[in-house]
Every structure is written in structure tokens, then in C-alpha cells.
A and B are shown apart, each in its own frame.
Chain A
């Protein structure tokens, strides 16, 4: 055998350049020379190692710098494309609404990609008709936005809020995946939020909804006012929350197979009080003030929150650690500092490899 032929074929195979004949030839070579299998396996592993993902923050920063250059070049870079397009209004009342919608559009856009500068250039972005507006946050970032009716929404990391073009005009309907704090402006139009497992209806109030698809529960925490919560999957059962209460609903897994089975998995519902901390902040809504607070939560749950908060992936090497219960508050800590603080509370080791973190005993 020509040894070089083997390496040549292996290189082609890994690069996806090999033809079917070449693959067969390589297989035969390895079969006839079992001693090659070892390096072949290792090289395949090595080949599959991906470049560690670059810090997304670096790219954001670079883009900000790049925008300066783009602006200075006079290349006519457009303002952010408004996520909301409203049909041409006729009445003056509608015109006001349109302005509100457009000013929100700007706010939403700023949030959707926070590193954008709006240019003052005269070029108009083309209007792309969209019926539904969507605002979302990446993992590791949080946003504040003002809806057309002046309702304020804080969107936590990895969350998505949608509403339609009639928002503030004929309805105030929103859908949420993830976590958001709402300070709803009073109005005759009911404000509604649909999540995967509950619907919430309000008239004017401040409350927090946490409904991440990968969490076991959906939580609604009421700070003031009054909300009515309907459990979608429990034939419309209703709950009314009073201030300082929260409703926790177990998220139902997707129904699989028999109806009997889904019946048994109907949501478990629990009303409890909000958790007040010593400094008068409320644990459930503390993220709005850029605080990550957890009170006697399992390390596993905390890890999931850290993942969203910092935009990282956390893996446990030892099952036992997941059950450790911890309490703490983070404000300006980076992920390394946060983990170092947790190490004071319970003993574990961690390694940070770019965005993935491994927790070991």
C-alpha cells in the first residue's frame, strides 16, 4: 500500500471531498491494515472538533465600531427597519396611534438589536408589511420596551414577545415565551398574554410572567393590581391573583398517545406569596433591576437560570450536585465570579471552555 494514498483518502473523506469509489478504497485499506484504524478514529475526532464559538459580544462590539465607519463613509445605511407597519391611517385619532406605533417601532428595534445606531441619513427603509411584531432577546441579554399604549415591558434573556398591528387600537393581545415583567397602562381595552399553558387578562397592573419552554413551571407573580389567569389545558379553569401573590402552574409535557395519559398530567397549580428580600426587592421581579436572585433553589434550576442570564451552557458531571440547594444574589458579577461565589456555599469545581461550563465534584 502506498501510505500516502491512505492519508490522501482520509483527508478527502474528512473534508467531504471523497467520491464513493474513494470511500470504498479507504475502507478496504483500513480493513487490510487494522493498525490504521486507530489514527483514523482519532483524526476523525480531531476533525470534528469545532472552533470554539467566538464571544457574541465581541462581534456586537465590532459591529458597533463598524457602524461608525459605515456612517462616516456616507454609504447610506438605513435606520432600523420598523418591526411594525400600520395601514395608512385616515382619521386623526389613528394618526396619533400611528405615531405611537412608529415610536415604539424604534424602541423595539433598538431592543431587538441593541448595538444599532440609528442614522440620521434621509434614506427610507422600505416598508415590509408584517402583521405580527415580535421582540426577542438573546441568551445573556435583557431588554426594556414600551408598547404603543405606554405599557412597559421588561424582557428577560432568551424570551420572545409578540403582538399584532392592531395592538392599542382594537386589542392589547400579546403572546410570550420566556420571562417578562409587565407594567400595564390602564385602559378599557383588556390586556392579555397568552403563554403555552396559561392566559392572563389584566386591566392595569404590574406583574411578572415566567414561561420558558424548558422550565417545569409557569409562574405569574403579581406586584399590584389584579389579574385573571386561565389555565388553557384545564378546560379554562380561572384564578384571580391578589397583589403579592404568585401562581405556579406545572407545565404539561406534549400529549403523547392516549387521552387517559394526558388527563393524569393535568397541571398542578399552586398559589404562594412573593419572596421579599432584606433590601425590599422582590425575588421574582429582581431581574428587572439587573439582579439575579435565587432563594433556596436547586443547583440544577440555578444552572438553567445562569445559562440564560449569561448565555452559556452548563453541564453537570455529577448528578448529586444538581440537588444542592443554594441561595444568592448576583448583580455585576461575570459568570466566573458568580460560580466562584457559589463555590463558597457548596464545594464543586468548574471549568470554563468558551461558552460551555462543566461542573465537577
Chain B
């Protein structure tokens, strides 16, 4: 995640000086996570790569107005969402896109024996719990955990109420928490 003061500086460099290096820096910092987010909507890596390129094209064409955007981090996710949905609607010729169709891959949950003091077996349960979360819930969890968005930002991005975000986060934590505490009870019995 780009620290806010640095992001602010980079945006000013783009807006005031057309600085291509600052532009590239933002591209490199956001590219992977935006492709990932877009992919949860389009379901295709290729489409998402194109969407993200369009997002940055837009960022460049509107660069003079960038400093006026209050929350760039949220803003770039919103453009990505809109362009991704447009793309799905074009391709599938459907009228609406539902969050329940999101395909979300949580990239930050993996077995790292260095950082996670859990057994491979417990990890399997954790992974099952992650995969078992409903798509919308998983998407919200991912946006908060991996993309560093606040609850209210996720609410705005997805057009949901703050209460829904809170509830979905509670469900996610409960499911994951239960998957890792199950082992304890078993161990305690042994």
C-alpha cells in the first residue's frame, strides 16, 4: 500500500508537472491489486488487465483534476469497479451485475510456517472456511484486509450500508475464527 503522504506527492507531481515517473510509480503500486479486484467482477484476467489499463488511461487524461479528489485510494477502486461492470455488461449482454457473482481469490491467506503457528491440517480447515464464505462476504473481507479500505469506503464502493459491511466482516471473522479454534478443542480432548 502506498503511504498516504507519498501518494499525495505522486499525484501532485502528475497533476502539476505531467510527471511520467510518478505516473508509472502509481501504476506499478496499484496494478496487481486492481487487476485482482477487477477480476472478481469480470472473472477474466485478460479483461481485467484491459480494464486496469483503461483506468490508468482515465487517470492520465484527467490528471489536472486529480488533486481535487478527496480520496484517491477509494476513487481508483470506484473507477475500476465501474469499468469492470461496464465490461461484463457489454460482454454478457446482461442488464445487471450482482455482487453475489463475484469471483474472489483471497491472496493473503496462505500457509507460512514462519508467521502462522498452525498445522497443515488446521490450514486446510482455514482454507475451506475461506472458500466457504459467500462471494459478497469474501469480497468485503478482501477489500478490508488486502486493499486497506475502511468499512465506510467499502460501503461506498459496493453501494452497501455500513451496517452490512460490519455484519459481513463479523461473519467472515467468525467463520475463520471457528475454523482455527476447532483444533484447540480436539487438542484439549487428547
Tell me the A55-69 residues at the B interface (CB within 8 Å).
56, 58-60, 62-63, 65-66, 69
Instruction: Point out the residue from A17, A81, A116 that lies within 8 Å of B151, measured CB to CB.
Output: A17
Q: Give complex CA distance A51, B148 in Å.
A: 11
Tell me the B135-181 residues at the A interface (CB within 8 Å).
144-146, 150-151, 166, 169-174, 176-178, 180-181
Among listed B3-11, B21-29, B95-103, interface-contacting one: B21-29
Does A63 contact B57, Cβ atoms closer than 8 Å?
no
Instruction: Tell whether A132 is near chain B: CB-to-CB under 8 Å.
Output: no
Instruction: Tell whether B31 is near chain A: CB-to-CB under 8 Å.
Output: yes
Q: Give complex CA distance A15, B35 in Å.
A: 23
Instruction: Tell whether A125 is near chain B: CB-to-CB under 8 Å.
Output: yes
Instruction: Point out the residue from B17, B21, B114 that lies within 8 Å of A113, measured CB to CB.
Output: B21
Instruction: Tell whether A281 is near chain B: CB-to-CB under 8 Å.
Output: no
Instruction: Tell whether B32 is near chain A: CB-to-CB under 8 Å.
Output: yes
Among listed B71-79, B81-89, B104-112, interface-contacting one: B104-112
A76 (CB) vs chain B CBs: closest residue? B18
Question: Which B residues lie within 8 Å of A7 (CB)?
Answer: 170-171, 173-174, 177
Does A10 contact B21, Cβ atoms closer than 8 Å?
no
Question: Which A residues lie within 8 Å of B56 (CB)?
Answer: 66, 70
Question: Which B residues lie within 8 Å of A58 (CB)?
Answer: 31-32
How close is A66's CB to chain B, nearest CB, in angstroms?
5
Contact with B along A75-103 (1 / 0, CB 8 A): 10111110000000000000000000000
A123 (CB) vs chain B CBs: closest residue? B18
Question: Which B residues lie within 8 Å of A116 (CB)?
Answer: 20, 24
Compute the total of residue contacts between A and B using a CB distance below 8 Å. 138
Does B53 contact A11, Cβ atoms closer than 8 Å?
no
How close is A38's CB to chain B, nearest CB, in angstroms?
5
A118 (CB) vs chain B CBs: closest residue? B20
How close is B64's CB to chain A, nearest CB, in angstroms?
12
Most buried by B among A35, A43, A66: A66
The number of residues on chain B lying at the interface, defined by a beta carbon within 8 Å of a beta carbon of chain A, is: 49
Instruction: Point out the residue from A50, A73, A81, A358 that lies within 8 Å of B19, measured CB to CB.
Output: A81
Q: Give complex CA distance A38, B166 in Å.
A: 23
Instruction: Point out the residue from B19, B53, B114 that lies within 8 Å of A65, measured CB to CB.
Output: B53
Does B115 contact A62, Cβ atoms closer than 8 Å?
no
Q: Give complex CA distance A38, B181 in Å.
A: 7
Question: Which B residues lie within 8 Å of A45 (CB)?
Answer: 115-117
Does B20 contact A75, Cβ atoms closer than 8 Å?
no
Question: Which A residues lie within 8 Å of B35 (CB)?
Answer: 62
B18 (CB) vs chain A CBs: closest residue? A78
Given A49-B108, A51-B108, verify A77-B20 contact (CB < 8 Å): yes
Question: Which B residues lie within 8 Å of A353 (CB)?
Answer: 112
Given A43-B180, A353-B112, verify A62-B117 contact (CB < 8 Å): no
Does A52 contact B31, Cβ atoms closer than 8 Å?
no
Does B146 contact A51, Cβ atoms closer than 8 Å?
yes
Does A49 contact B110, Cβ atoms closer than 8 Å?
yes
Does B115 contact A49, Cβ atoms closer than 8 Å?
yes
Q: Give complex CA distance A293, B176 in Å.
A: 48
Instruction: Tell whether B190 is near chain A: CB-to-CB under 8 Å.
Output: no
B122 (CB) vs chain A CBs: closest residue? A42
Q: Give complex CA distance A19, B21 in Å.
A: 39
A127 (CB) vs chain B CBs: closest residue? B17
Question: Which B residues lie within 8 Å of A12 (CB)?
Answer: 166, 169
Given A8-B170, A42-B180, A62-B49, verify A128-B17 contact (CB < 8 Å): yes
Given A4-B170, A7-B177, A15-B169, verify A75-B27 contact (CB < 8 Å): no
Does A81 contact B146, Cβ atoms closer than 8 Å?
no
Does A59 contact B115, Cβ atoms closer than 8 Å?
no
Instruction: Point out the residue from A75, A112, A126 that lies within 8 Å of B61, measured CB to CB.
Output: A75
A65 (CB) vs chain B CBs: closest residue? B53
Instruction: Point out the residue from A46, A63, A69, A73 that lies within 8 Å of B28, measured CB to CB.
Output: A63
Seen from chain B, the residues whose Cβ lies within 8 Å of a Cβ on chain A are 17-21, 24, 27-28, 31-33, 35, 49, 52-54, 56-57, 60-61, 107-110, 112, 114-118, 126, 144-146, 150-151, 166, 169-174, 176-178, 180-181, 184
| Selected A-B contacts with CB under 8 Å, 28 pairs | A3-B174, A8-B173, A12-B166, A12-B169, A15-B145, A15-B150, A15-B169, A35-B181, A35-B184, A42-B116, A45-B116, A46-B176, A47-B145, A49-B112, A51-B146, A62-B27, A62-B31, A62-B49, A63-B31, A66-B53, A66-B56, A66-B57, A77-B20, A79-B20, A80-B20, A80-B21, A125-B18, A128-B17
Beyond A42-B116, A46-B176, A66-B56, list 13 extra A-B contacts (CB 8 Å). A7-B177, A14-B173, A15-B144, A17-B150, A17-B151, A38-B180, A43-B177, A51-B146, A63-B31, A75-B60, A81-B19, A113-B21, A125-B18
Q: Which 7 A-B pairs have the closest CB atoms?
A: A54-B32, A39-B181, A7-B174, A11-B169, A39-B177, A8-B170, A11-B173
